[in-house]
Structure 1
Amino acid sequence: MIKYRKAGEMKDSGVEWIGGIPRDWEIRNLKYIGFTKSGLGNKKPKDFGHGYPFISYKNIYKNLVVEETYPDLVDSTEADRENFSVLRGDAFFTGSSETIEELGIASMCIKDISNATYNGFSIRFRPHSLSQYYPECMKYYFRSQAAREHLIRNDNSITRANLSQKLLKMLPVLLASFNQQKKIANFLDLKTTQFDSIISKKEQLIKKLEEAKKSLISEVVTGKVKIVDGKLVPRDLSEMKDSGVEWLGMIPRDWAVKKIKHIAECYPSNVDKKTMKGEKRVRLCNYRDVYYNDYITDDLAFMKATATISQIKKFTLKKGDIVLTKDSESPDDIAIASYIDGCVENLVCGYHLTLIRDIKGSIDLYVYYQLMSTGARNYFETVANGVTRYGIGIFGFVNLQVCIPNIEEQEKISKYIRSYINEQAKIIININNQIRKLKQAKQSLISEAVTGKIDLRDWKIIEGELQ
């Protein structure tokens, strides 16, 4: 049973979104308990992938605690390693993001990491002393809504969100006694582990559903199975031939194999997120819109930007267009495709995306499902170039080889896959809603603990690894 402090034990923090805090707690701006420093920013792509440990943006963004088993390396100098060192108690904040809500995500270093440096798109906070600052507790505070609200409310970015050291230094920090911080950390380690276990199981279920979707699409669009009376039936080997393409394997004898450049036009977009005087106002379809949606529809919340007349003419999206992400932090997470499903008003394809359109001799929806297949995904992974961030040029897209049956077969396949995806989407939406509520409950618990609203004075610390 969680116990809350009584109103008489609290005082006004003076911060609207934090509210009351225990009377014996302190509140200080971050600048009074330590100092900030931007990361290593003078490196070129050739410097990565070898050398010394490197804390990447992705490492910070995805982990509450800086991951020690990082794969990232950089060719850093002795001066680099001295100036951009990574020690216990260092908190790293992401310094740039596509949205304000994702700005200033923090990750805590729990123990010194020898010879490590950190990336230039983050800001390191280092406390003057650990005598009143318990990193295991502060890792929760810096990611809590109490801390995040300061960054979200006070950021003045217009296009891409950027965190200034000036704003970060003014972050209000709540300091309980050192012993209380240890109890808060232990309590939250236990409770968040319980939440994370439930969330992880639900996320694994979604992952299995997504893998099943990829597998089914791959089997259908390469003709390994055929649709008979609304059901999938394996094709007999006598009906098949070698496609001559490794990632396609065997395909039906009457199917053709063609490169994208022979059936469609392909255009990498150059429309950025800026709002420029003299340009026309547009809605912008961004990387995130494509990455998180199988279908792009007019009712999605798109960001506003501007574009030139020539950009609008070339990149205004229309029904049947296919849009793919053209870069990523890992080669196995690139060329994610989305289909423009219906009329979209004044919507332009944004930067970091490639547009495939004007498909000839094939159904656009069928080609889209080809791009979603496991074979296509494997192909894109092999042609992605990069070290710390990967990209695919236009030649990588246009040289993808796809299976082309007759139009009647394409229509049947498109209809079947669409129905399957729609039914599966209902299940995934339901699971995602459950995950969202669990994450909200977890975040609420963290905020109530790190602001002292939950009374943990009598909490008995549980030693050892928490399960």
Structure 2
Amino acid sequence: MTDNKIREIRIIRDSGVILNTKGAMWSGGSDMSSWRNITVGNLGEVITGYTPPTKNAEYFGDVYPFITPTDMTIDSRTVQTERFLSQKGYEYNKNRLLPQDAVCVTCIGATIGKTCMTTVPSVTNQQINSIAVDQDKYDPYFVYYLLITKTDILHSVANSATTPIVNKSTFASINICVPPLPTQTQIANFLDRKTKQIDELIRIKERRIELLQEQRTALINQAVTKGLDPNVEMKPSGVEWIGEIPAHWGVKRLKHIAKILPSNVDKHIYPDEIQVRLCNYTDVYYNDYITVDTVLNKGSCKENEFAKFALRKGDVIITKDSETPDDIGVPTYVKDDLDNVVCGYHLTMIRPIACRGEFIFRFIQSDRTRRYFEVNSNGITRYGLGKASIENLLLPIPPDSEQTQIANFLDQKTQQIDELIAAEQRKIELLKEYRQALISEAVTGKIDVRNDV
């Protein structure tokens, strides 16, 4: 961690919202001499989960929670699952039933290291190794905090297969260092208090981000349908989901003010084609603007495709396919003149003819348009937005000069809100780093929490 990050973390920690850690460094070797080097297997019984045959519905019911890695989150000790085993499922798996307060660790796949604790007797699948902690010697809550600091070690001891695996014996042989039981409990209690404070502050900041995002959306909705003058005379738009608009505005379908061009340029590179830079789905989904500074992948296309789909300043691009309907119709605006950039597959290019592209972009960002696209998408496992649905989108159309005023206003205001959101996100990132660092320092004896109240 850099000095700057440490300073930023201290600023947040010392702000008075989070109480300062009063623990001092452990003094010399005398205090640490009571800590013992053991292995994970010494903590209790290590149990690897198992999935009963899924074809037998009798094994599944509502008796014992059945925990899988997808139920677990990185920074939550508790876990909720919608899957349960029946009594028959338990009989099939009875040697793998975990007691309350067992510590469960994901040991297969990309999410190795995710850790949780059981709150009731439970069963896990085979991707999870768990410890039924010997509570006469070890505090299970201390064990939980200790093991969430071992993700890097788990990755390092995983086999080198395509899917990394830490088997039961390897997991049990991981070396750890633990203090006497009373100190374990003191550390666990200390971390319970401190992480609760940090988590509450994170929750407050996440709520702040939600409110800023709602403010951003409301601002766009208001500007693109009502304009900037609160005293302007209004009239019915004739479109129920648009509502009233300023009396001097009109309403037109998108196909009457722009060309709609669904792209068929895929991401493969063919040597006999024109070599280009490709604006892909993720470039659109994660960016409000495509500029000369946007990093784009290389691609290729035919001459006729280049003539049709080469991007120009003022173009609008939207996502037209997705696994969920709410990810369809996400727009971006081409803000600069671009050299040799082509619109890629799963996207539709909107080229303005009789309306400002920046206004079209903002209207497509509005909640009203998002709902229109969701309703008009089709599919079951994958959703698509047809050309006709895009063409028939109805838009309120202000005079040209007012379109520019609205676009400039929204550029300024959304940038201000985005900067506030980014600042809150940065604080959350720092708080999470501080949380992890505090846990690591406490469970390894780098801070003495015995006198912390």
Give the structure-1-normalised TM-score.
0.66
**Which 5+ residue runs of structure 2 have no aligned equivalent?**
1-21
Distance 2:107 2:302 in 1: 35
Distance 1:22 1:198 in 2: 35
The residue number in structure 1 matching 2:243 is 249
The Cα of 1:212 is off from its aligned counterpart by 0.8
Change (3 A) 1:408 1:29: farther
Q: CA RMSD in A?
A: 5.2
The Cα of 1:92 is off from its aligned counterpart by 5.1
Kept after mapping to 1: 8 A contact 2:236/2:245: yes
The residue number in structure 2 matching 1:136 is 141
The Cα of 1:202 is off from its aligned counterpart by 2.4
What secondary structure sits across from 2:36 in the alignment?
Answer: coil
Distance 1:80 1:366 in 2: 60
Change (3 A) 1:341 1:200: farther
Change (3 A) 1:445 1:62: closer
The residue number in structure 1 matching 2:17 is none
Matched, 1:93 2:87: no
Kept after mapping to 2: 8 A contact 1:40/1:117: no
Which protein has the larger Cα radius of gyration, Structure 1 or Structure 2? 2
Of residues 25, 43, 46, the one that matches 1:4 is 25
Matched, 1:60 2:52: no
Distance 1:219 1:425 in 2: 18
What secondary structure sits across from 2:72 in the alignment?
Answer: helix
Change (3 A) 1:416 1:112: same
The residue number in structure 2 matching 1:403 is 395
The Cα of 1:414 is off from its aligned counterpart by 1.4
The residue number in structure 1 matching 2:18 is none
Distance 1:445 1:113 in 2: 30
What secondary structure sits across from 2:386 in the alignment?
Answer: helix
What secondary structure sits across from 1:361 in the alignment?
Answer: coil
Kept after mapping to 2: 8 A contact 1:66/1:107: no
Query: In the alignment, residue 401 of structure 1 is paired with which amino acid?
Result: L
Of residues 307, 313, 317, the one that matches 1:322 is 317
What secondary structure sits across from 1:192 in the alignment?
Answer: helix
Query: In the alignment, residue 358 of structure 1 is paired with which amino acid?
Result: R
The residue number in structure 1 matching 2:384 is 393
Matched, 1:207 2:203: no
Matched, 1:233 2:226: no
Kept after mapping to 2: 8 A contact 1:65/1:109: yes
Change (3 A) 1:360 1:452: farther
The residue number in structure 2 matching 1:374 is 367
The residue number in structure 2 matching 1:16 is none
Query: In the alignment, residue 5 of structure 1 is paired with which amino acid?
Result: W
Change (3 A) 1:444 1:346: farther
Of residues 390, 411, 416, the one that matches 1:418 is 411
Query: In the alignment, residue 93 of structure 1 is paired with which amino acid?
Result: T
Listed one character per residue, the Cα deviations across residues 142-199 of structure 1 (whole Å, up to 9, x for unaligned) are 443x424653898979xxxx75114897564635255443332221111011122223
Listed one character per residue, the Cα deviations across residues 226-269 of structure 1 (whole Å, up to 9, x for unaligned) are 23xxxx425433x333314x3x2333454224257974223488
Kept after mapping to 1: 8 A contact 2:78/2:119: no
Matched, 1:127 2:131: yes
Distance 1:77 1:344 in 2: 64
What secondary structure sits across from 1:5 in the alignment?
Answer: coil
Distance 2:166 2:411 in 1: 50
Kept after mapping to 2: 8 A contact 1:66/1:110: yes
Change (3 A) 1:7 1:383: farther
| Residues 290-305 of structure 1 aligned to structure 2 (within 5 Å) | 292-297=286-291, 299=293
| Residues 445-464 of structure 1 aligned to structure 2 (within 5 Å) | 445-457=438-450
Distance 2:120 2:199 in 1: 26
Listed one character per residue, the Cα deviations across residues 47-80 of structure 1 (whole Å, up to 9, x for unaligned) are 9xx9767767664236513443x6x569999659
Listed one character per residue, the Cα deviations across residues 193-220 of structure 1 (whole Å, up to 9, x for unaligned) are 1122223222222221211110010111
Kept after mapping to 2: 8 A contact 1:9/1:22: yes
Aligned identity (percent) is 23
Aligned length: 412
Change (3 A) 1:163 1:451: farther
What secondary structure sits across from 1:126 in the alignment?
Answer: strand
Distance 1:418 1:80 in 2: 59
What secondary structure sits across from 2:230 in the alignment?
Answer: strand
Distance 2:328 2:284 in 1: 11
Distance 1:183 1:448 in 2: 14
Of residues 118, 121, 131, the one that matches 1:110 is 118
Distance 1:438 1:453 in 2: 19
Give the structure-2-normalised TM-score.
0.68
Which moved further from structure 2: 356-365 or 263-272? 263-272
Distance 2:294 2:157 in 1: 24
Of residues 147, 163, 167, the one that matches 2:151 is 147
Which moved further from structure 2: 188-197 or 86-95? 86-95
Distance 1:348 1:36 in 2: 51
The Cα of 1:457 is off from its aligned counterpart by 4.5
Query: In the alignment, residue 204 of structure 1 is paired with which amino acid?
Result: R
| Residues 279-290 of structure 1 aligned to structure 2 (within 5 Å) | 287=282
Distance 2:378 2:413 in 1: 33
Listed one character per residue, the Cα deviations across residues 333-354 of structure 1 (whole Å, up to 9, x for unaligned) are 7654444443678888788x64
What secondary structure sits across from 1:164 in the alignment?
Answer: coil
